[in-house]
Structure 1
Amino acid sequence: MTDRPWTTRRISRRDLLVAGGASAGLVALPACSWLDTDPAGDSGPTDAAGTDLMEAPELAARVEAGELPPLSERLPGNPAVVEPVDRVGVYGGTWSSALLGPEDEAWLQRTVGYDPLLRWNPEWTEAVPNIAESVEQSPDGHEFVITLRAGMKWSDGTPFTADDIVFAFEDFLMNKEISPAAPTFLTNGGQVAALTRVDDQTVRFTFAEPNGLFIENLALLNTGDALTTYPRHYLQQFHPAYTQGVDAAAAAAGFGSWTELMLARAETYQNAEKPTLNAWMLTSALGDATTVTAERNPYYWKTDPDGRQLPYIDRVSFEVISDAEVILLKATNGEFSFHTRHVTSLANKPVLADGREQGGYTFTTLRSSLMNEMVIFLNLTHQDPVKRAIFGTKDFRIGLSHAIDRAELNTATFQEEGEPWQAAPSPDSKFFDEGLATQYLEYDLDLANEALDRAGLTERDGAGFRLGPDGRPFSIEVEVSDPGVVPYWLDAMNLVVGYWSEVGINARTRPEDRSLFKERTEANQHDAGVWVGPGGLGDETRRPFFYLPTMRFEQAFAPLWAQWYQSGGTQGEEPPAATKEQCELFWQFAQTPDADERDELFRQILQIAHEQFYVIGTLRVPTGYGIVRDDFHNVPAEMPESFDFATPGGSSPSQYFIEA
């Protein structure tokens, strides 16, 4: 499988981290080719009427009418240039899609909301310039200088400058009345970073300890855009440091305090009035509306290679639908331009495949970042000392793994698209470890029984179920979020419970609402659970939750150890030596500025995961799919699928276009 599904000029690590002219011993992250900074040519392609178009016709008409400044005054001096996937596009049209209910903010983030300070390149291998024209990292990893694009503007035409970054940091993110806890990506060594305004286009972040993850964090949703989503000129009217009488204004607007008013007005998708830097700006907000719409941002700061302002598409329209079956019906009817969520499951693939010709759409391949569709985790820090001892015995976990008929599981619930796999990075990953991925996968009841006997569960009751070492009945309750991220988890886990009964393990599933699942796992109240396995390809080091205990919810295989890790050893329970070594390695990983050294540290973490065999994997499904209407262009034939990549945001939706 190719790692470069569409044409770009490849960016090497050296190109990314070393820039000529870097001063004061800093290492620069320069602007790169797929977001070039030198638009070529004075005129671009022509429309059907033969007129040179450097901007959308509707914007040109507004300029002519005196409603907008000319394009040269709306673009920054050094706009980002996006290389199209297939070809330069034409202006116009509406991208139609859907939201699964009014809570589906994630799809808005992924489609019209991914424009952080840095962004991922299409291959998802490097963080590259975006809003930030460059980021310079000091060799020791303590200091980062961010240079913004001069002349950038918010969607209402107000200049975007370093003052907006300072406001977001000091008056919003670090204001304890608004945000009680500082964002983790802005802290390390137990201290919040120091922010210095250098000039109108430049800020400097200084950390107490080396921060090896800061650059990657600047390319992620909800971190890289946290500093660029709070326009000072708009939000300062709700802040007491800048405006008098904000409590009275809040009360008049029906809010209990100025902070409630501020938080409401700072919402990106609940407040269509707030200016944005994104390609499209909301004209109707997420809430009670049946349709959420976003119109082209006339001040968007990117162009195609011919200097034509992006986005090509006029507007994006999301129908708010609460029933996934209705979304599926509309998808098969060809009512969506491009869609990759909610209904593009394995179970629905035959239905959507049958509808392609009549609906006028094709499939695009989504290369999954997941290393597993269903990871089974036992609670290794269980409150019951007997269950803790049993679950903590590696042979017990080995026995359960050998008892799973993954071939039948694949046929019955995964549409035969899965591959037996443990919790391990994918074959295409630079961290691939064949031993970790394939150990204990063999379906063999003899091997399963032998391992369970070695674990000390040799005695059975009259029904053939194994007794605990204390001679008392032993059982496992596996908690399953229902509905889950993967809709067939419950069916799959019911099969697994049946397999385990064949080797004398008395187990049952416990379907429950996701909020209750979260509550119980965080409180260390569960026997076992299931979740998807991130960290397969592209996000291995950012989402290593099944390789070492860093999470207490979705990957809660040892909540008390995770609490110890998260608190820096001040809370929770100190893990055993091998696991503690992993935690210490990961702390070191986060403080290491050199990427190659970080990779080596992570390989050491994976080696310990290999030896410990914390959790039980089932199957991985290497690829998913999305639907693309035949008149919708520049969508990659293949792209990564991950929230970290903000799929499809990482493929630059501003260069999508519509043409029959």
Structure 2
Amino acid sequence: MNDRSWTTRPITRRRLLIAGGASAGLVALSGCSWLDTDPAGDAGPSEAPGTDLREAPQLAARVEAGELPPLSERLPANPAVIEPVDRPGVYGGTWTSALLGPEDEAWLQRTVGYDPLMRWNPEWTEPVPNIAESVEQSDDGHEFLITLRAGMKWSDGAPFTADDLVFAFQDFLLTKELSPAVPSFLTNGGQPATLTRVDDQSVRFTFAEPNGLFLEQLALINSGDVLVSLPAHYLQQFHAAYTEGADATAASAGFASWTELMLARSETYQNAEKPTLNAWMLTNALGDATTVTAERNPYYWKTDPDGRQLPYLDSLSFEVVSDAEVILLKATNGEFAFHTRHVTSLANKPVLAEGREEGGYEFMTLQSSLMNEMVIFLNLTHQDPVKRAVFTNKDFRIGLSHAIDRDELNTATFQDEGEPWQAAPAPDSRYYDEELATQYLEFDVDLANEALDRAGLTQRDGSGFRLAPDGSPLTIEVEVAEPGVVPYWLDAMNLVVGYWNEVGINARTRPEDRTLFKERTEANQHDAGVWVGPGGLGDETRRPFFYLPTMRFEQAFAPAWAQWYQTNGAQGEEPPEPTRRQCELFWELARTPDPDQREELFGQILEIARDEFYVIGTLRVPTGYGIVRDDFHNVPEEMPESFDFATPGGSSPCQYFIE
């Protein structure tokens, strides 16, 4: 491990600088110290042993054999420069880890695949250029000029240019046969953006309305990486617009049409032949593999400060394992160089802690972006008018909250590592609101009963359960997606419904498959549900699903209102005034180019969320952990944990090394 802390502490926002010589009305983002564009060519390499090589020995041997051009011809004119977390590394070694079954693309995305146009800075406070050398945003937020790195190449040596972005945008994302809906990050004002090729290294995105969140979206998995993962020179051979007889080619390959073949060849983790811009190239597809391997990309476009080409590691080897218990055993045996998923739970921490010395690994800290481990949400747009009237009564939700013994829940489920917390941003968040986070947390049966009485549930049946205000029976099924989402949810929710039974609420859990859970919540058929609470730290404005109704499934506390929000009022059900105001503020936030103004608007949204108290929080666990083998270096001692940060991708795995 290293002694350099990697934290998510708040920092002063870096202002956008006026670009010298840029187009009028544009501001530019350039690299910062950890991802620079000016390698220290005069200072010479570090004196650390083994760091006097400018490229990996295996690549140098290929150059010597005439199989590769020299390094100077493989790097772009202005490579991105990564500052090592601890110290310059040495070349060689394999990163070992595991995938939980053949569907676990997420771990590959987080480790091999996080190199979008923009990326997050280490503090996870702002997006910075990555594949893009620079980005210039117009003052009004309508236009974004993206300049790529001259001389950059795909992993097969073909040039990477503006034509690749044009192809990805025009011939894939805007082609209905391949992409039925234009990705949301490329639309606003009900219209897709337009993309103009300026020159070989530059494109301009133009939006119908100001797009205040575009640069953040370009730093996310499944957004900013999509535009740079569709190599034109490779995929055009399967595309009917570029190749005659594309359907015949598809048929000979066993596909029904050129579109099916095109979609298959465009897959990143199911087609190892597709060229990439990532640090490592897959050598076999995920598919039915028992182990997924990847080797270094000889044309990777990042260096360390001494001008030494990254990555330091030769390869990755991720075993595909179907049972999490097997992954846990392998972890305790020290078989993984670095791993943060599947088994690094609170329940497993004692087991992994006991195995550290013999397994030769230590823990690193993951600063959770979650504001809650289990948010309980009633369906406020329930199709049953009686249940809707009860659920939308704020006093009813207050009563349910006061009935929960969160201290007992913490001991039983979270090994006393949790903190009672409502659905609210974390203390380190710029949006922290103490009242929002702590209101109605007190476990008090008397307060619970008083609130439920105020809600009109004063009558009871022969079993002591409260009746609805109209005298009809009231039952609540809390749907829990399982297995494989969060293992402790069902046990935790069984405790909660027990607390609710004690104050006269006839509630029970309903475990069901995640697919069914998603279908039912999206169809507005659920009484209540539980889900993890994002939007705690670093992703508050991108994942505000429990602060206002923007999500129609899984985190769906009001799917009919969310449909109204998502369709700009064309479908769904118009929410009541406070909630409608939130939606209008969030629409305005998305159109606002100034980050300080966006922050102010989101603060207003949270004020309304505090007053409305839509959902019931349980506990927040501030930190998690990963395991790092003793010989695996440059992994930060702390880093944010979030899919948005692509953990650990946001920490630049290309600078990890083994020694």
TM norm. shorter chain > 0.5: yes
Describe the superposition over 1:303-342 as per-residue Cα deviations: whole angstroms up to 9, x where unpaired. Answer: 0000000000000011000000000000000000000000
Describe the superposition over 1:139-177 as per-residue Cα deviations: whole angstroms up to 9, x where unpaired. Answer: 000000000000000000000000000000000000011
Seen in structure 2, the aligned counterparts of structure 1 residues 51 and 40 have a Cα distance that, compared at 3 Å, is: closer
| 2:63 aligned with 1:63 | yes
What residue in structure 2 maps to residue 580 of structure 1?
Answer: 580
What residue in structure 1 maps to residue 205 of structure 2?
Answer: 205
Looking at structure 2, the residues matched to 446 and 18 of structure 1 have their Cα atoms a distance apart, in angstroms, of 60
Looking at structure 2, the residues matched to 520 and 13 of structure 1 have their Cα atoms a distance apart, in angstroms, of 42
**Displacement, 1:17?**
4.4
| 2:213 aligned with 1:193 | no
Three-state SS of the structure 2 residue aligned to 1:401 is helix
Describe the superposition over 1:553-577 as per-residue Cα deviations: whole angstroms up to 9, x where unpaired. Answer: 1210000000000011000000000
Looking at structure 1, the residues matched to 532 and 597 of structure 2 have their Cα atoms a distance apart, in angstroms, of 28
**Displacement, 1:280?**
0.2
Contact 1:485–1:532 under 8 Å retained in 2: no
Letter in 1 for 2:445: L
**Displacement, 1:469?**
1.3
Contact 2:421–2:620 under 8 Å retained in 1: yes
What residue in structure 2 maps to residue 164 of structure 1?
Answer: 164
What residue in structure 1 maps to residue 613 of structure 2?
Answer: 613
Contact 2:51–2:90 under 8 Å retained in 1: no
Looking at structure 2, the residues matched to 13 and 583 of structure 1 have their Cα atoms a distance apart, in angstroms, of 26
5 Å-filtered alignment, 1:233-272, equals 233-272=233-272
Moved more, 461-470 or 109-118: 461-470
What residue in structure 1 maps to residue 636 of structure 2?
Answer: 636
Looking at structure 2, the residues matched to 487 and 477 of structure 1 have their Cα atoms a distance apart, in angstroms, of 19
Letter in 2 for 1:78: N
Three-state SS of the structure 2 residue aligned to 1:227 is helix
**Displacement, 1:271?**
0.1
| 2:143 aligned with 1:143 | yes
Looking at structure 2, the residues matched to 653 and 378 of structure 1 have their Cα atoms a distance apart, in angstroms, of 41
| 2:299 aligned with 1:316 | no
What residue in structure 2 maps to residue 362 of structure 1?
Answer: 362
Contact 1:16–1:128 under 8 Å retained in 2: no
Seen in structure 2, the aligned counterparts of structure 1 residues 246 and 11 have a Cα distance that, compared at 3 Å, is: farther
What residue in structure 2 maps to residue 594 of structure 1?
Answer: 594
Three-state SS of the structure 2 residue aligned to 1:364 is strand
Looking at structure 1, the residues matched to 394 and 515 of structure 2 have their Cα atoms a distance apart, in angstroms, of 30
Looking at structure 2, the residues matched to 357 and 14 of structure 1 have their Cα atoms a distance apart, in angstroms, of 42
Three-state SS of the structure 1 residue aligned to 2:496 is helix
What residue in structure 2 maps to residue 82 of structure 1?
Answer: 82
Give the paired residue count: 654
Seen in structure 2, the aligned counterparts of structure 1 residues 184 and 552 have a Cα distance that, compared at 3 Å, is: same
Looking at structure 2, the residues matched to 82 and 51 of structure 1 have their Cα atoms a distance apart, in angstroms, of 15
What residue in structure 1 maps to residue 33 of structure 2?
Answer: 33
Contact 1:424–1:536 under 8 Å retained in 2: yes
Describe the superposition over 1:505-552 as per-residue Cα deviations: whole angstroms up to 9, x where unpaired. Answer: 010000011000001000000000000000000000000000000001
What residue in structure 2 maps to residue 566 of structure 1?
Answer: 566
**What are structure 1's unaligned runs of at least 5 residues?**
none
| 2:652 aligned with 1:658 | no
Q: TM-score, normalised by structure 1?
A: 0.98
5 Å-filtered alignment, 1:219-368, equals 219-368=219-368
What residue in structure 2 maps to residue 502 of structure 1?
Answer: 502
Contact 1:148–1:202 under 8 Å retained in 2: yes
Letter in 2 for 1:202: S
| 2:451 aligned with 1:451 | yes
Three-state SS of the structure 2 residue aligned to 1:155 is coil
Seen in structure 2, the aligned counterparts of structure 1 residues 6 and 519 have a Cα distance that, compared at 3 Å, is: closer
| 2:115 aligned with 1:99 | no
Three-state SS of the structure 1 residue aligned to 2:640 is strand
Contact 1:11–1:33 under 8 Å retained in 2: no
What residue in structure 2 maps to residue 488 of structure 1?
Answer: 488
5 Å-filtered alignment, 1:426-575, equals 426-575=426-575
Three-state SS of the structure 2 residue aligned to 1:624 is strand
Letter in 2 for 1:185: F
Contact 1:46–1:53 under 8 Å retained in 2: no
Three-state SS of the structure 2 residue aligned to 1:440 is coil
**Displacement, 1:45?**
4.1
**Displacement, 1:30?**
1.3
Identity of aligned residues (%): 84
Contact 2:51–2:89 under 8 Å retained in 1: no
Looking at structure 2, the residues matched to 219 and 329 of structure 1 have their Cα atoms a distance apart, in angstroms, of 35
**Displacement, 1:52?**
3.0
What residue in structure 2 maps to residue 400 of structure 1?
Answer: 400
Looking at structure 2, the residues matched to 107 and 269 of structure 1 have their Cα atoms a distance apart, in angstroms, of 11
Contact 1:311–1:655 under 8 Å retained in 2: yes
Looking at structure 2, the residues matched to 14 and 487 of structure 1 have their Cα atoms a distance apart, in angstroms, of 40
**Displacement, 1:478?**
0.2
What residue in structure 2 maps to residue 418 of structure 1?
Answer: 418
Describe the superposition over 1:371-415 as per-residue Cα deviations: whole angstroms up to 9, x where unpaired. Answer: 000000000000100000000000000000000000000000111
**Displacement, 1:5?**
2.7
**Displacement, 1:41?**
2.9
Looking at structure 2, the residues matched to 175 and 215 of structure 1 have their Cα atoms a distance apart, in angstroms, of 23
Q: CA RMSD in A?
A: 1.4
Describe the superposition over 1:183-202 as per-residue Cα deviations: whole angstroms up to 9, x where unpaired. Answer: 11111111111110000000
**Displacement, 1:51?**
8.2
Looking at structure 2, the residues matched to 7 and 623 of structure 1 have their Cα atoms a distance apart, in angstroms, of 12
**Displacement, 1:24?**
1.4
Contact 1:19–1:30 under 8 Å retained in 2: no
What residue in structure 2 maps to residue 385 of structure 1?
Answer: 385
Letter in 1 for 2:288: D
Looking at structure 2, the residues matched to 7 and 406 of structure 1 have their Cα atoms a distance apart, in angstroms, of 28
Looking at structure 2, the residues matched to 563 and 5 of structure 1 have their Cα atoms a distance apart, in angstroms, of 43
What residue in structure 2 maps to residue 623 of structure 1?
Answer: 623
Letter in 1 for 2:549: P
Describe the superposition over 1:427-472 as per-residue Cα deviations: whole angstroms up to 9, x where unpaired. Answer: 0000000000000000000000000000000000111100111212
What residue in structure 1 maps to residue 125 of structure 2?
Answer: 125
**Displacement, 1:20?**
3.4
Contact 2:118–2:218 under 8 Å retained in 1: yes
Letter in 2 for 1:636: P
What residue in structure 2 maps to residue 44 of structure 1?
Answer: 45
Three-state SS of the structure 1 residue aligned to 2:589 is helix
